[in-house]
């Protein structure tokens, strides 16, 4: 059986992208801190929100585009893979580890103006000739058409 290493995130940038270049080949890099939220019921039955932070890194043209078009607070959809790297900490002598998402693909979620969410038109289905079963206008008597 094969292996899968895929990450999909939909979140917001916690800071402007940090840009740089790789030391060896001078390839552009962009590092993003992405916040995602989850909601769950705690032991007492109350809803609780939890924010998780993800370190994400892009290289090359992807890094240039992220740095150009995204800023703190921007919403982003991204796909990538997990990678863990290690190094020896010079000050403590301990081995350190960092797990990052290496970005392969991303999508713009915010509108082009002002970095705010695009509003969804609640009446969008009125533009189509679709029966709304919730108001009793269904001509098929509520049966599934297949």
DSSP 3-state of 84: strand
Kindly state the helix (H) or strand (E) to which residue 71 belongs, with its residue range: none
Using the predicted structure, report yes or no on whether residue 132 has a pLDDT greater than 90: no
Report which DSSP code applies to 17.
P
Residue of 124, 85, 90 lying closest to 102 (CA atoms): 85
State how far the Cα of 129 lies from the Cα of 96, in Å rounded to an integer. Answer: 60
Q: Could you give phi then psi for residue 133, rounded to 5 degrees? A: -65, -15
What integer is the mean pLDDT of 86-103?
94
Confidence of residue 109 (pLDDT cuts 50, 70, 90): confident
Round the average pLDDT of the chain to a whole number and report it: 82
State how far the Cα of 115 lies from the Cα of 97, in Å rounded to an integer. Answer: 34
Say which residue, 40 or 111, is predicted with more confidence.
Answer: 40
H helical segments located in the chain: 60-69
pTM for the whole structure: 0.70
Which residues, including other chains, have CB under 8 Å from residue 65's CB and lie 6 or more apart? none
The pLDDT, as a whole number, for residue 88 is 92
Using the predicted structure, report yes or no on whether residue 124 has a pLDDT greater than 60: no
Residue of 57, 60, 66 lying closest to 85 (CA atoms): 57
Say which residue, 34 or 120, is predicted with more confidence.
Answer: 34
Q: What is the largest CA-CA distance in the chain?
A: 74
Confidence of residue 71 (pLDDT cuts 50, 70, 90): very high
Using the predicted structure, report yes or no on whether residue 17 has a pLDDT greater than 80: yes
Using the predicted structure, report yes or no on whether residue 138 has a pLDDT greater than 50: no
Name beta bridge partners: 16: none
Q: Does domain 7-135 have CATH number 1.10.10.10?
A: no
Q: Among 70-79, 118-127, 134-143, whose mean pLDDT is lowest?
A: 118-127
State how far the Cα of 33 lies from the Cα of 55, in Å rounded to an integer. Answer: 5
């Amino acid at each position: 059986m094969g292996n899968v290493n895929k990450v999909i995130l939909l979140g917001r940038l916690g800071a402007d992208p940090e840009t740089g270049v790789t030391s060896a080949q001078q390839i552009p890099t962009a590092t993003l801190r992405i916040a995602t939220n989850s909601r769950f019921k705690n032991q007492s039955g109350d809803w609780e929100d939890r924010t998780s932070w993800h370190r994400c890194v892009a290289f090359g043209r992807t890094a240039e585009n992220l740095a150009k078009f995204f800023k703190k607070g921007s919403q982003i959809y991204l796909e990538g893979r997990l990678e863990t790297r290690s190094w020896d900490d010079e000050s403590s002598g301990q081995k350190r580890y960092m797990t990052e998402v290496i970005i392969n693909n991303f999508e713009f979620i915010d509108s082009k103006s002002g970095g705010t969410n695009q509003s969804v038109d609640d009446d969008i289905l009125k533009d189509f000739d679709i029966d709304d079963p919730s108001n009793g206008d269904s001509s098929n008597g509520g049966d599934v058409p297949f």
